[in-house]
Structure 1
């Protein structure tokens, strides 16, 4: 399948931000994974110091989008002893606003999922076909739309500068950034809902999507990218500081080109990604979820992976340790860190044994709308 950036075009796309030299490339194959883990801890501590002095953004606001079922064996890997085959996760969008050094206002949307189109991801589409409608209506709850949340916040679509996802699993961007051709399934050639926005993405993920591995195919929608204009993307390599207290770091493993959002706030540093589905997955020794703490002790594991697709397991483990080293302790409960899962474990009556010991639910920083 051909994409707009095939044939080396991805190397010619523009880049963004100030590159970070402090953090290592955790996927470098010239070092064994144990050495990469040691280096990740050391370099993360150095980055914490330099990142904190960049300042803080004007505001960070959380916007819930959808709660849906997710296999327990994926979300809690091998650690859970819950009898429930499915747990619940809630996907949320973060709206981050800051001013550049020249005074220009910026708006970044992190995880602005088009929930309606995300349903056509092969895995979720198959699950929906096998689930009775009355069951699906009970376990899937939509909380709001991207455009609806922005209207509530007083943000116009053409105010949005950047869209960013930790990775492009399940994502269909056509309605957000437009297409170069008619789309049969949408009944039109979509105009960009965000006419000025660029998608910040790791160059590795764009390259990988041009030829998906079988491990990746259940989670991507490659047809949705066939006619997306290449200029909609801002590819980066590794870690980049985007603005005061706002950075993106490369955290490979869950996918080859995975990335995480890092924000500095009034409560300290937060990290957000889908590498794990709960804050307690980074400190499993404090988890009350059945089996998790015992599993971590027995296997000497300090983190629990979100493992729906383990493209490179050791890299994902190392990436979570990197996130763990960056994040500050929660002020609500210092046993847990300010790691905010982009899809967070959410208690549900349909999932006995999967109610989180601790959850964040939101990040709040700066002046919030009334």
Structure 2
């Protein structure tokens, strides 16, 4: 047990949002039955969610572009010769007013890029890679705080912090700690003093006793001294505000979750379940191997699969996401799925240039 507190301590915390019954009812049967059921539930949720309204504003903020193994990002499907592709991590900033008029701010994927480098997998990759190559392959676009300042949002205005999962994430500077941190040289005060981290209880439970498949991707020791009241745990899917929901999408990790947004262009979903919109419609992909692999194996999606915690569940969760979103208004072959880490063309990575990219979600009501 790495955490100083037990996940049982989270039980009495006040919940957030309104539960989504259509998604959270227990599904009976095996993976195939669950897949069929999720298609129906996704369509039902889509109709309900469209009626909740839209947020005031959605902004997209680029954080960092970095290398990622092709065999993980385009699981089994790619025929690219490049061992690595590039992904861009982005933060979404969502603003809305509650029914009582109270303004809300949610940060989706506000990664602390500097501390994220200590994740075991990426730390080892950096150790084995010459510095000049790292300099060419890693591009930092802007920090969380710089982006918020540009948007004229002060840290104390942030209500919610959400990640699709906690791979690579170190939250100590965002929510503070209860003890001195030797590696930071301080006991950090919370940068976002009023923010709650919305997380699936399943993921916090898993982090307390990691499986070997999970250990390269987490920094569990950094959660040891995080105050328990920094978390707002949920057990399923919730609508947080008009056109803003967090939906449970297990598979990539046990407690994976996705962000759903209803905007002026229709419904979007964002997560890291796939790294490119075309991975949801691989039959239209120009990436080497994807369309042929999808047809040969009769699989309709291409997973982002670095951990393979519960692969069938991840496949089903992607189909759920696929059943919720609208088609892109730019190119109707592709869907309004916005990867939180999106495949990005890089001259060093032949055969990995995406057929289609969203780059951003932009909305203002």
TM > 0.5: yes
1:278: which partner in 2? 276
**Distance in 2 between the 1:10 and 1:354 partners?**
42
In 2, Cα distance between equivalents of 1:60 and 1:216: 32
Counterpart in 1 of 2:229? 231
Asked if the contact 1:19/1:239 (under 8 Å) is kept, the reply is: yes
Match of residue 96 from structure 1: 94
For 1:22 and 1:222, the matched residues in 2 are separated by: 33
**Which SS does the other structure have where 1:61 is aligned?**
strand
- Do 2:268 and 2:326's aligned partners in 1 also have CA atoms closer than 8 Å? yes
Partner of 1:258: 256
8 A Cα contact 1:24 1:40, kept in partner: no
Contact 2:2/2:221 (<8 A) preserved:
no
Deviation at 1:8, TM superposition (A): 1.9
- Mapped pair 1:8 → 2:8: yes
> What is the CA–CA distance in structure 2 between the aligned matches of 1:219 and 1:114, rounded to whole Å?
15
Say whether residues 1:87 and 2:85 are aligned partners: yes
SS at match of 1:242: strand
Partner residue of 2:245?
247
Per-residue CA deviations over 1:130-180 (Å, capped at 9, x if unaligned) read 000000000000000000000000000000000000000000000000000
SS of 1:34's equivalent in the other structure is: helix
Query: Which 4+ stretches in 1 moved above 3 angstroms?
Result: none
Matched with 1:347 is: 345
Q: Name the residue aligned to 2:299.
A: 301
State the shift of 1:5 in Å: 3.6
SS of corresponding position for 1:136: helix
How far, CA to CA, are the matches of 1:215 and 1:15 in structure 2? 31
Aligned to 1:319: 317
Deviation, structure 1 residue 11: 2.2
> Is contact 2:7–2:205 with CA below 8 Å preserved after alignment?
no
- TM normalised by structure 2 equals 0.99
How many residue pairs get aligned? The number is: 365
- Conservation of the 8 A alpha-carbon contact between 1:10 and 1:206: no
The 5 Å alignment of 1:1-370 reads 1-6=1-6, 8-24=8-24, 31-366=29-364
> Contact 2:162–2:197 at 8 Å: present in 1 too?
yes
Would the alpha carbon gap of residues 7 and 143 (structure 1) be closer, same or farther in structure 2, given more than 3 Å must change?
closer
Following the alignment from structure 2 to structure 1, what is the Cα–Cα distance between the partners of residues 348 and 37?
Answer: 41
Q: 2:105 & 2:7 partners in 1: Cα distance?
A: 32
Residue 68 of structure 1 aligns to a residue whose secondary structure is strand
Structure 2, unpaired ranges of 5+:
none
**Worse overlay, 11-20 or 126-135:** 11-20
The whole-number CA distance in structure 2 between the counterparts of 1:187 and 1:33 is 48
In the TM superposition, residue 25 of structure 1 has moved relative to its aligned partner by 6.2
Q: Aligned equivalents of 2:332 and 2:85: distance in 1?
A: 25
SS at match of 1:22: helix
| Distance in 1 of aligned mates of 2:7 and 2:310 | 25
Question: What's the CA shift for 1:45?
Answer: 0.5
- What is the TM-score normalised by the length of structure 1? 0.97
Query: What displacement does 1:12 show?
Result: 2.7
- Alpha carbons of 1:167 and 1:365: their partners in 2 closer, same or farther (altered >3 Å)? same
Please state how far the C-alpha of 1:10 moved relative to its aligned partner: 2.7
Report Cα offsets for 1:231-280 as digits up to 9, x if no partner: 00000011100000000000000000000000000000000000000000
Q: Specify whether residues 81 and 244 from structure 1 end up closer, same or farther in structure 2 by C-alpha distance, changes over 3 A only.
A: same
